[in-house]
Amino acid sequence: MKPYLKEHEWSIIEEGFDPDKHEISESIFSIGNGHMGQRANFEETYTGSSLQGSYMAGVYYPDKTRVGWWKNGYPEYFAKVLNSTNWIGLRIVIDGEDLDLNEAKVSEFVRELNMREGYLQRTFKAELREGKEIKVKATRFVSIVQKEIGAIKYDITPLNFDGTLEVTSYLDGDIKNKDANYDEKFWDPVATSLSKDRASVTVKTKKLNFHFCSTMETQLYRNDQKLDVDGVGSEEVKYAGITYKAPLVKNEATTIYKYAANVTNRDHDEQQLETVSSKSLDGAVKKGFEQLKEEQASAWKQKWLDSDIVIEGDISAQQGIRFNIYQLNQTYSGEDARLNIGPKGFTGEKYGGSTYWDTEAYCLPFYLATSEERIPRNLLIYRYNHLEKARENAKKLGFEKGALYPMVTMNGEESHNEWEITFEEIHRNGAIAYGIYNYVNYTGDKSYLGEYGIEVLAEISRFWEERVNFVPQKNVYMMLGVTGPNEYENNVHNNWYTNRIATWTLEYTLYVLDFLKDTDPDLYAQWIEKLDLKEEEMKKWVDIIDKMYYPEDKEQGVFLQQDGFLDKELLPVSKLDSKHLPLNQNWSWDRILRSCFIKQADVLQGLYFLNHEFDIETKKRNFDFYEPMTVHESSLSPCVHSILACELGYKEKAYEMYLRTARLDLDNYNNDTEDGCHTTSMAGTWMSVVQGFGGMKISNDQLILNPFIPGQWKSFSFKVLFRGARLMIHVDQEEVTITNETDIASDIVIHSDKIYLKGNDQITVTH
Amino acid sequence: MKPYLKEHEWSIIEEGFDPDKHEISESIFSIGNGHMGQRANFEETYTGSSLQGSYMAGVYYPDKTRVGWWKNGYPEYFAKVLNSTNWIGLRIVIDGEDLDLNEAKVSEFVRELNMREGYLQRTFKAELREGKEIKVKATRFVSIVQKEIGAIKYDITPLNFDGTLEVTSYLDGDIKNKDANYDEKFWDPVATSLSKDRASVTVKTKKLNFHFCSTMETQLYRNDQKLDVDGVGSEEVKYAGITYKAPLVKNEATTIYKYAANVTNRDHDEQQLETVSSKSLDGAVKKGFEQLKEEQASAWKQKWLDSDIVIEGDISAQQGIRFNIYQLNQTYSGEDARLNIGPKGFTGEKYGGSTYWDTEAYCLPFYLATSEERIPRNLLIYRYNHLEKARENAKKLGFEKGALYPMVTMNGEESHNEWEITFEEIHRNGAIAYGIYNYVNYTGDKSYLGEYGIEVLAEISRFWEERVNFVPQKNVYMMLGVTGPNEYENNVHNNWYTNRIATWTLEYTLYVLDFLKDTDPDLYAQWIEKLDLKEEEMKKWVDIIDKMYYPEDKEQGVFLQQDGFLDKELLPVSKLDSKHLPLNQNWSWDRILRSCFIKQADVLQGLYFLNHEFDIETKKRNFDFYEPMTVHESSLSPCVHSILACELGYKEKAYEMYLRTARLDLDNYNNDTEDGCHTTSMAGTWMSVVQGFGGMKISNDQLILNPFIPGQWKSFSFKVLFRGARLMIHVDQEEVTITNETDIASDIVIHSDKIYLKGNDQITVTH
């Protein structure tokens, strides 16, 4: 599909209404605030193709697993993000005719996602039957200041007639998940209530007893005057609506304000939900739409101050990167350690679950560099809180000790059910350990290790200890039957990445234990006791570190993705006729598996994570070997390649890889954006700019920068919060300027030169 | 569950009614005739747990595939054996009370499957409400003489009262498959008709347009006198019934005869089904129940003359082996080359499909040795007729030429949907080639090769040619990403069995081409042209034969099941705590995969198939290496082990392995017989006796026997049809006696001694 969105620095803009693109736009123009979010559905009736989707963070449903052939150990349920009460509904009836863009003649349609200020706006003209024309302007946002509040301003102006407006403002809780495995509805009714101006609907999930209450108030205005109209209420099961009638006056805008307060028993007493939501609604109504919108703009201004990336000379790239940052910020705000970053955020329900290894491997760096410490720390705490479930998961799979974190989860329990992934893609455990390292390395907050980190690290280490097997005739440890990050290989022996991230975990755990022993012997002793950590275990870890087998080809100087990789027919992707691509749509699974083609960075993922361990020549040999065979059919692949390409000075390749992620959803590159946006891979795009083009790393408590700028750009700049200092790094073709926007001084290394940058100071160096 | 069936030489007998075992008995006491069959459901109402199942051979339904995660290349549908019109129904109402063994007090219940004469009989006393007692004797069979005819004789004797019988004899076509993926019904109504004594129901499948018409006639008798009772008909959608009323006289049996003729548009014109079935019914009714039953007994007598195995001194073993032979004979009669041997025969619907590699690998030898040539030949023709679909299947998986037969099929199209099996368990292709070899070797019918065989062989060879890949640095061909017969390993490289059966196919195909060139140059030329077989292709085959890589451990002198097998922790099953067994119910799939434990013969399957290629020491080393690691969690495993153990002189092991299959269903060994019997593995039991204990092989057009007798047995004897001669081989602890029951002389090798056995002669040799 040809890109259809207008390029703009700060907004996503769709001009003209094309029903065929509506579901894609519903994904792209989604709004959210970390607590809730929704697809860019129309407020009024729409009978065309649409995925009505409204999601509350942390409210999920254990949907009965669907498989063709059951394997022992599969989870019974897949925890799914739950499509919830639709609170935006405004049925607009004009002179007896339902406004429906699938029926009306639509013109001057503009849909805009204003990312700078955080709202969705839509304007259009519609010609109804008998030639009646109206103009509509609908503005909507979910507040990032008051997380439970959503607000709509809906202006209707009749252009060539006087008439009557009948608007039914409603809450509809009779909602079904599109991805329900057995076509079931997941919500049961609890209560509905109606008063003159307000209605409330409370529903609860059929399992797990999540309660969700939405309360709304609707007001009609004309010429800044509140209209004194009496609403007529109607209730159905899981539904409440209030219908208002008002005259429509030619060329005068009638404005409908709708406020909703959406609360769940995750945050409030189950019995008090209606009261709480009504009280919350009071505050919002009192402030009114315009003030709420101003607060929203001001809060987003702060978000951008912390996390913006500016690209000059390439408006398309500018729009792309801002869209990614916007989505990340509206998906996860880090206030609530029970939440995580779902693969589609609030933009769709595909893939269910909320947490993949994407969080630690790709998302964490974004939040580390753009948010206060407590935000990424909450991502770690999330895993810490799931440790017991991860222990149970390991037990369920037959391990006597240790913890195996799930591949896909909502509440710590495994949801996924493909054996080659669920049971074998265990490298995720390493990423979770690496996340701890990454957090401590970035923030310098070593207290986390003694407070929480060591327990997670030790339990993951124990898992690796049991998962490897010693091969006496070769005097090595091996890891059999795994799937590495490259999911285009399944059930392989000795995936280099997995073997290495396993021993790395053991090394880091031993390092952390030593660190605790040195710095806080009492705490160390407590942990040793609590974890019942034996001397022999630690010795075993050392033995595994010493004797782990890593497949490699010494002649070519490359690490081998797994045993037997060189027995494949090795071909570059460029030799494949393009009709074969993407492989996952054209080749049967066995053909993909026995080919050399790589879905996403695997050995290279290891070189990215453990970058400091390998010299540049090693990285180069491996990059040169694997990159040509990589098809990047995971949206998480190009960013790692882009970052390594930057380090290796492969400028063209770096930019090519960057382009593959930057506008993935905006240009619907994978032809699946209607299902929702690729939220987690958006963090990869941010990484490409900051860690790739910016060359940012943290080492020895220093911020290291090795920027280079793609030839196509005039300049780019990014913000980094580093140990309290907010630094703006501006890179153009000649020089790099770093501005410290705070009082806090910072040690920085640019292109190997060590710089001390005082508070509120600026420094410029040439490339 | 403790065995509950009574031991008997010729019958399976259940004494006493236990509702908890009813579904198991419904499977075990199933009756069939190759054309149709059914579980041993009760004729009268039964409200307890039951799987009502009536199946017509070759009538199937493409049920929409159900998977958790779709893989490219999966079949859209799973072709399922179709549960069809229930024609046995007799609703028995006595003085207004429904006879229902779930409600009545049942005593003296005996259920018998008379295998010698081929019928099912049930007798019981039932106490109804108010203490009314009746005695019932119900006898039922499906005729192996007139395949469309089923007949029931149902005697009711009131023991302590006079009363009224109301019997509704019905046909119910509103049937649902228990294993429907989405709980759908697969049958649509076509027509019902009613006359005074007859009713007819025609239904058709919602897809593929299979039409099935069942017509019934019911008669009531007392004291050999036909009762003149008028039936009252009733029709519903897909249902027709006729209700008769008759007085019941104390201590006199009222007999209900029910005849049904079941026809499909597989055999008859769709428009004529009712006429055809009515005509067929005329003949049956005219003969009457007793004559039909006599014909049945006489036809079964001939079946037993050809295929019986007699074991003296072990009644349990005797019953077990006869049960297996009985099931095989009633599942597949070989009259119709469109049919094959379903995994559950007519005893249940689990696993769907009708054809697995079981047919060629396990079932073919039974039919070769016990039936006329045309019967096993039809099994080969079945595959020949599916060649075009196998070509399409290979294309669908990305191959440019060649044929890949499906893993599971009904009509030649693949049904199965697990990637590691559907796409990777390609050794099945080799078994199909081996089936041709086996047939020709056994029958001596080389004409088959030039008529049909060569086309299948060449297309399979082409598949192997494309499926292997050359590894230049090692100068070998390899086969990556397969699943061997041992399904407890998935996606392995260089499965020894698969590599070897592939090159064996190439060798045999080249041999057959040479044979044709020598014996019929014109025919050879025709095939070369038709197949467009190039010189380079054949050269490539030779190159692959020469350079195929076979994993082996030269030090230990064993073939390796696949690359990397020795990197596993090698443990005998005996070292496993029994709580882990069966592994497939206790271990998660990854744990099974990375363990050394073997589901079923794999390398040993190769040594069994290509027995003549390996010396006894090689077989011994491999058996000694693999057998201790084999868990036999496939019912197809122990037979191969038993046969090899016999050859190696491991008498105890051979008998132990024999016991594991012989009474698999009778003793519900796998705790799943309620789903149906393990029909195809029954042929493995036959193989254990004939090829194992009997040591029977065919080589150089000679029948070779190396019998040994388990110490537990007094004697055993089996029948073999070999090139027209029917030989009875009788083995006791001292000697072997071979009786030629026909006029045709035969060359036989016993214990390496060559013997010429004249027609109607007998010879005895001592062990």
pLDDT digits (tens, 9 = 90+) for B393-414: 999 999 999 999 999 999 999 9
Residue A329 has pLDDT above 70, yes or no: yes
Confirm whether pTM is higher than 0.90. Answer: yes
Q: DSSP letter for A733, please.
A: S
Residue B1 confidence (pLDDT) above 80:
no
- Buried b vs exposed e over B224-243: b needs ≥16 C-beta within 10 Å? eeebebebebeeeebbbbbb
Identify the three-state secondary structure at position B241: strand
pLDDT, tens digit (0-9, with 9 covering 90-100), for B254-308: 999 999 999 999 999 999 999 999 999 999 999 999 999 999 999 999 999 999 9
Structural contact between residues B710 and B655, judged by C-beta atoms closer than 8 angstroms = yes
For residue A37, the SS3 value is strand
Question: For residue B55, what are the β-bridge partners?
Answer: B37, B83
DSSP letter assigned to residue A688: I
Answer yes or no: do A72 and B587 touch at CB < 8 A. yes
Q: Which two tokens stand for residue A262?
A: 């959406």
Whose CA is closest to B583, among B679, B470, B462, B488? B488
What is the end-to-end Cα distance of chain A in Å, rounded? 40
Tell me if B567 and A480 make a contact (CB, 8 A cut-off). Answer: yes
**Does B358 appear as a known binding residue?**
yes
Pairwise CA distance, residues B710 & B706, whole Å: 13
Query: Are B118 and B127 contacting, i.e. CB atoms less than 8 angstroms apart?
Result: no
Which residues of B are identified as catalytic? Answer: 487
A470 contacts on B by Cβ (under 8 Å):
569
pLDDT given at position B282 = 97
Tell me which of A671 and A6 has the higher pLDDT.
Answer: A6
ipTM metric: 0.94
* Average of per-residue pLDDT across A526-534: 98
The pLDDT of residue A487 is 97
Distance CA A163, CA A314 (A): 48
Give the containing element (helix H, strand E) for B331: helix B315-331
CB contact under 8 A, A473 and B591: no
What pLDDT is attached to residue A352?
77
The answer, for B73 touching chain A at a CB cutoff of 8 Å, is yes
Of A68, A72, A471, the CB nearest to B418: A68
Q: What is the pLDDT of residue B725?
A: 95
Please tell me if residue B250 touches chain A, with a CB cutoff of 8 Å: no
**Amino acid in the structure at residue A599:** K
Which residue in the set B65, B481, B563 is minimally distant from A68, CB to CB?
A: B65
- Residue A329 sits at the vertex; the CA angle it makes with A327 and A335, to the nearest 5 degrees, is 140
Which residues does residue B765 pair with via DSSP β-bridges, in sequence order?
A: B736
What pLDDT score does A151 carry?
A: 98
A141 pLDDT higher than 70: yes
B350 part of contact set with chain A, CB < 8 Å: no
Q: Is the distance from CB of A119 to CB of A138 less than 8 angstroms?
A: no
Task: Judge whether B224 is annotated as a binding position.
Answer: no
User: What's A757's DSSP letter?
Assistant: E
- DSSP states of B72-117: TT--SEEEEEEE--B---EEEEETTEE--TTTSEEEEEEEEEETTT
DSSP state for residue B363 in the 8-state scheme: I
Query: Any CB–CB contact under 8 A between A628 and chain B?
Result: no
Residue B686 among known ligand-binding residues: no
Q: Which two tokens stand for residue B359?
A: 């047919």
Q: How far is A626 from chain B (nearest CA, A)?
A: 18
pLDDT, averaged across chain B: 96
Contact indicator for A419, A490 with CB cutoff of 8 Å = no
CATH domain B424-623 topology = Glycosyltransferase (1.50.10)
Does residue A670 register a pLDDT over 90?
Answer: no
DSSP state of A65: P
Q: Could you report the per-residue pLDDT of A380-432, keeping only the tens digit for each?
A: 999 999 999 999 999 999 999 999 999 999 999 999 999 999 999 999 999 99
pLDDT at B352: 78
Q: Are B424 and A590 an interchain contact pair (Cβ–Cβ within 8 Å)?
A: yes
> Cβ contacts (< 8 Å) between A491 and chain B: which residues?
420, 490-491, 590, 593
At A161-182, the pLDDT tens digits run 999 999 999 999 999 999 898 8
First CA to last CA across chain B, in angstroms? 40
pLDDT of A52 strictly over 90 = yes
Catalytic residue from among A23, A487, A627, A647: A487
pLDDT category at A669 given cuts 50, 70, 90 is confident
CA distance B622 to B264: 50
Flag whether residue B473 sits within 8 Å of chain A, measured between CB atoms: yes
> Any binding-site annotation on B225?
no
pLDDT digits (tens, 9 = 90+) for B87-128: 999 999 999 999 999 999 999 999 999 999 999 999 999 999
CATH superfamily, region B5-280+296-307: Glycoside hydrolase, family 65, N-terminal domain (2.70.98.40)
Q: Categorize the per-residue pLDDT at A671 as very low, low, confident or very high, splitting at 50, 70 and 90.
A: confident
Contact status of B582 with chain A (Cβ, < 8 Å): no
Which residues in chain A have their CB less than 8 angstroms from residue B404's CB? none
Identify the band that residue A661 occupies on the pLDDT scale cut at 50, 70 and 90. confident
Count of pairs with CB atoms under 8 A, one residue in A, one in B: 125
pLDDT of residue B2 exceeding 90? no
Please check whether residue B570 touches A, CB under 8 A: no
Residue type, B418: E
Largest CA distance in chain A: 91
What mean pLDDT comes out for the span B134-157?
A: 98
Q: Among B418, B491, B584, whose Cβ lies nearest the Cβ of A593?
A: B491
At residue A497, the pLDDT reads 98
Chain B residues within 8 A of A394 when measuring between CB atoms: none
Dist CA A126 CA B690 (whole Å): 84
Confidence of residue A350 (pLDDT cuts 50, 70, 90): confident
pLDDT, position A440: 97
What value does the mean pLDDT take over residues A63-80?
Answer: 91
Question: Which residues between 488 and 547 in chain A have a beta carbon less than 8 angstroms from any beta carbon of chain B?
Answer: 490-491, 493
Average pLDDT over residues A525-553: 98
DSSP for A85-143, written as a single string: -B---EEEEETTEE--TTTSEEEEEEEEEETTTTEEEEEEEEE-GGG-EEEEEEEEEE-
Residues of B in contact with A490 (CB under 8 A): 490-491
Q: Give the model's pLDDT for residue A354.
A: 84
Closest CA to A505 of A563, A447, A462: A462
| Pairwise CA distance, residues B528 & B535, whole Å | 10
pLDDT at B661: 87
Query: What fold, for A38-305?
Result: Beta-galactosidase; Chain A, domain 5 (2.70.98)
| Other Cβ atoms closer than 10 A to B105 | 12
The residues spanned by each domain of chain B are 5-280+296-307, 424-623
Q: What percent of chain A is modeled with pLDDT above 70?
A: 100
- pLDDT given at position B224: 87
Residue A1 has pLDDT above 70, yes or no: no
Edge-to-edge strand ranges of the sheet holding A702-705: A697-699, A702-705, A746-750, A753-757
Amino acid at A62: P
The proportion of chain A whose per-residue pLDDT surpasses 90, expressed as a percent, equals 94
When pLDDT is cut at 50, 70 and 90, the band that residue B351 belongs to is confident
Write out the two tokens for A41.
Answer: 């559905």
Q: What would the two tokens of residue B544 be?
A: 């692959």
- H/E stretch holding B43 reads none
CB atoms within 10 A of CB B290: 11
Could A72 and B397 be called an inter-chain contact, meaning their C-beta atoms sit closer than 8 Å? no
Nearest CA distance, A618 vs chain B (angstrom)? 23
